[in-house]
């Protein structure tokens, strides 16, 4: 069974309350529920973490080495400047898929740059919560 870890970064615990016109009305629990249902269909063993702390994301990526087949990550605002998260993904050599609810290329200019994307297999951005489902399907094919 393929093992996939979903990492959600800062402020994503506030989904459903935060800037709903951009991020939608679903909570992170709603998204996790949908992903669990899809994971069952795809025969994927899914685990989740949400943290507002960069170091915790890095520790979790390190711990995944040898245990996790694919990482799905929405690094939140860290997307745009965390070289440390980028280096961690590169270091563990686990295929990673970057997900964003919003289309980061259609917003403020500072959001269009991802320092994480170059070390990922690919990026899914702008499809709302469906992006996580798409990422899971991509993970099943890796």
Task: Output the smallest distance, CB 95 to ligand DQA, in A.
Answer: 19
The reply to whether 135 sits near ligand DQA by the rule CB under 6 A is no
The reply to whether 129 sits near ligand DQA by the rule CB under 6 A is no
Question: Segment contacting ligand DQA (CB under 6 A): 38-46, 48-56, 60-68, 70-78?
Answer: 70-78
Task: Output the smallest distance, CB 85 to ligand DQA, in A.
Answer: 12
CB closer to ligand DQA, 50 vs 76: 76
Selecting among 53, 100, 105, 132, the annotated active-site residue is 100
109-118 contact pairs (CB < 8 A, 24+): 110/80, 111/79, 111/80, 113/80, 114/79, 114/80, 115/79, 115/80, 115/81, 115/82, 115/83, 115/86, 116/73, 116/75, 116/78, 116/79, 116/82, 116/85, 116/86, 116/89, 117/79, 118/86
The reply to whether 52 sits near ligand DQA by the rule CB under 6 A is no
């Amino acid at each position: 069974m393929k093992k996939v870890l979903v990492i959600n970064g800062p402020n994503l615990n506030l989904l459903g309350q935060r800037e709903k016109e951009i991020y939608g009305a679903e909570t992170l629990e709603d998204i996790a529920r949908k992903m669990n249902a899809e994971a069952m269909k795809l025969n994927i063993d899914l685990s989740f973490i949400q943290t507002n702390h960069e170091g915790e994301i890095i520790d979790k990526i390190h711990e995944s080495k040898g245990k996790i087949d694919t990482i799905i990550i929405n690094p939140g605002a860290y997307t745009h400047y965390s070289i440390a998260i980028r280096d961690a993904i590169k270091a563990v050599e686990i295929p990673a898929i970057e997900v964003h609810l919003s289309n980061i290329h259609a917003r403020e200019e500072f959001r269009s740059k991802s320092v994480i994307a170059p070390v990922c297999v690919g990026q899914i951005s702008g499809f709302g919560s469906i992006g996580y489902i798409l990422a899971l399907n991509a993970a099943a094919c890796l």
